[in-house]
Amino acid sequence: MSTAKNIKVGSAKIAAISASPLNLIMSSKHNKTILVTGAHGFIGGYIVAALRRQGWRVILAVRNKGQTLAADERACDFGHMLDPADWLPLLNDVDAVVNVAGILRETAQQHFATIHLTAPLALAQACVASGGKRFIQISALGSPEDGEFIASKHRFDDALLALPLNAVVLRPSVVYATSGSYGGTSLLRAMAALPGLQLLPGKAQWQLQPLAAEDLAAIVLAAIQSNNGGLFEVGGPQAITLQDYQQSWRDWLRVPSRYTLHLPTALVSGTVALGEKLGRGPLGATMWRMLQRGNLTQAQAANEVQAAFGVEAHSLDQVLATHPSQVQDRWQAQLYFLAPLLRLTVVLLWLLSAWAGLLTPTSTIQHLVSGSLLEYAQPVWLARAGAIVDLLLGLWLLSNYRPRAAIVCMLLLLLTYTLSFGCLIPALWLDQLGGLAKNLVLLPALMVLWVVTESR
């Protein structure tokens, strides 16, 4: 399909969009305004911060998950905004666009072809139709053979550069930050922070060129203000092995180096394959293949970036030396593996509680409440009903659908159990195996689980 045909939209549809409330809200004149998609993501946050430090007015194009949008946010759904006309309201008074939106793994609602190609291409075509905006695309360094994550991004890169648009495509190597992590970098940091033992996949001699998120943001800022266009591979100033990368983080986190365990690559590959089947896990098959292949820029890539934008990336050691770690950094890294373990044990506890409530003999229940007020409140029926509620809550948390809501329900139910039984059967507090006293630990454990369940 030709570019002209893709860009063409009906005059009536454009007229309706131009009169929309969103268009009127954004109609005031600003000298420097930029639209950032994927603004709430890991990389997007650093780009937005860099732009704001330089005085840009930033509009955050974000998915609306039911919350009230902030004044600088605009609703943006890559799953449905597949026509250039869908994007025109967001481009009024916008001087440049930075596209950072992307997904690491496909879901039933989100597909690589849509999120990485169709929707951003519609956005780029809308930029052409609205007068030609400066367009910066954050792609990914790798080979299309690594997987559809890379292949779909590279297809859009090619389509973008074929448009009559002042565009820059940046393909970064592994992007990291001292102040946070996401996806695979979170996993690597957690492995580096294990007390007493460092885990490494295989011999960990694969090479990469880690790039600080702040350096990537600086390049984006320079690219926006430059007239140079084209495709640029971006990485740190030197290639290092995965083992050296991990050791640098371990030293930075101030975790003593004692032993290193090299996990068989077959075991890692099997774990990755299982994660792909379940649709979970921080290390997808594409990322694993990219890591094994090595993630390096072309020999002249750094010189090309320097010549075009005047920015030189810093080495990992330079960045870590100028950003001291704090105890909170170790908390984040060392809680990484504990958080899913805590979640799993809570699920098991609720399912075991359901099993006990459903299978405990009637005579045992009646004997337990004998002499208390619960003796007159149909205790067997209450035990069975409570077991069903426990079962539903355990399965809800296991499904990972709105897990924080499930944890809140568990907290309320546990608090109800504790107060009710504690008052009606006070002897339970003195049970030899802990009885209700265990809830005094479980209540804050659920609160901790609620906190660490937030993924972004």
User: 348-359, pLDDT tens digit by residue?
Assistant: 999 999 998 898
Mean pLDDT (whole number) for 258-266: 88
Mean pLDDT (whole number) for 147-166: 95
Mean pLDDT (whole number) for 333-337: 92
Q: Specify the pLDDT at position 293.
A: 87
Q: Specify the pLDDT at position 373.
A: 59
Which residues make beta-bridge pairs with 137?
Answer: 99, 169
Greater confidence (25 vs 413) lies with 413
Which residues make beta-bridge pairs with 169?
Answer: 137, 231
- Residue 138 to residue 102: CA distance in whole angstroms: 9
In this prediction, residue 99 has a pLDDT band, given cuts at 50, 70 and 90, of very high
- For residue 350, the SS3 value is helix
In this prediction, residue 434 has a pLDDT band, given cuts at 50, 70 and 90, of low
Residue 1 pLDDT greater than 50, yes or no: no
Phi-psi region of 46 (alpha: psi -120 to 50; beta: other; left: phi over 0): alpha
Sheet-wide strand order for 230-234? 73-75, 57-62, 33-37, 96-99, 134-138, 167-172, 230-234
Percent of the chain scored above 90 by pLDDT?
61
pLDDT in tens, 199-254: 899 899 999 999 999 999 999 999 999 999 999 999 999 999 999 999 999 999 99
In this prediction, residue 3 has a pLDDT band, given cuts at 50, 70 and 90, of very low
- Residue 127 to residue 428: CA distance in whole angstroms: 68
Q: What is the pTM of this model?
A: 0.83
Q: Specify the pLDDT at position 423.
A: 78
- Residue 297 to residue 248: CA distance in whole angstroms: 21
pLDDT in tens, 42-95: 999 999 999 999 999 999 998 877 678 888 999 999 999 999 999 999 999 899
Q: Specify the pLDDT at position 381.
A: 78
In this prediction, residue 122 has a pLDDT band, given cuts at 50, 70 and 90, of very high
Give CA angle at 323 (307, 51), nearest 5°.
50
Spatial contact of 82 and 118, defined as CB atoms under 8 Å apart = yes
